[in-house]
Chain A
């Protein structure tokens, strides 16, 4: 994240270094504090199971924040995250690791700005995609 990526060095199909988060109830509680979303399905196991969920589920917005981190870690200090999009398709369960991955899909110049489009997603420990998304960054 301290290293600057230059537009000229970016190649289509290049992999973005993955980001893995070991989830936990503690982290879920921290997200509740940071976001104000105090729905107990995100930190109370008994409540979550009472709602017919398999266990505490990881807040979808935390997953989207992690996808933004995947990009800001990669693009370097002079990069600018222009656009972020993600769909929440599947549940991630507490104590399971989640991994954010990405691939460069396109690079182009628009209004003299160097833009890179990235396809990204979150995988659970079985490799199932639970949150597909995309991003556009401006690089020097």
Chain B
């Protein structure tokens, strides 16, 4: 392994930049697919009467559905072309802060930004740790949630 920097000038230029903006209307099908994948039987996501009796206008979207939206907008190489030569991404985890409930029919705009990029030592050589922030807005331009997601990438195939 050479001693040259794994993080190139082109890669560094993207730090602080908006990487992409994804607009998604949350429909019943997306929620049903999420429920099928997680076995989440909470009536708040499915039972209109239960949700109305609980004081909501109707069923809510499970907050975990935003976790499914983490990959939307393509792979890291799609929105960070300067990293296209790197090996596939490994999820490190992340954080979500929720501000408002999401309802079926809401249109969510996800603004994805590269917050930070650092070099780490991995078992098979140097790795890059990307920290990506996503801010989710609803159709009223209210922030519904923010996430901060960590993705590792190896410097060699």
Residues of chain A within 8 A (CB-CB) of B96 are 83-85
Complex contact A88–B93 (CB within 8 A): yes
Complex contact A78–B43 (CB within 8 A): no
A27 at the interface (CB under 8 A from B): yes
**Contact A78 to B93, CB < 8 A, known contacts A33-B33, A37-B71, A39-B88:** no
**Contact A65 to B68, CB < 8 A, known contacts A30-B36, A72-B42, A73-B42:** yes
Which residue of A is nearest B41, CB measured? Answer: A1
Complex contact B38–A62 (CB within 8 A): yes
Complex contact A35–B98 (CB within 8 A): no
Q: How many residues on A have C-beta within 8 angstroms of the other chain's C-beta atoms?
A: 35
Complex contact B71–A65 (CB within 8 A): no
Cross-interface CB contact of B38 among A2, A65, A78, A86, cutoff 8 Å: A65
B91 at the interface (CB under 8 A from A): yes
Measured CB to CB, the residues of A under 8 A from B are 1-2, 21, 27, 30-31, 33-37, 39, 60-62, 64-66, 68-69, 72-73, 77-78, 80-88, 131, 133
Minimum distance in angstroms from B57 CB to a CB of chain A: 13
Complex CA gap A87/B68 in Å reads 16
Minimum distance in angstroms from A18 CB to a CB of chain B: 14
Complex contact B92–A88 (CB within 8 A): yes
B37 at the interface (CB under 8 A from A): yes
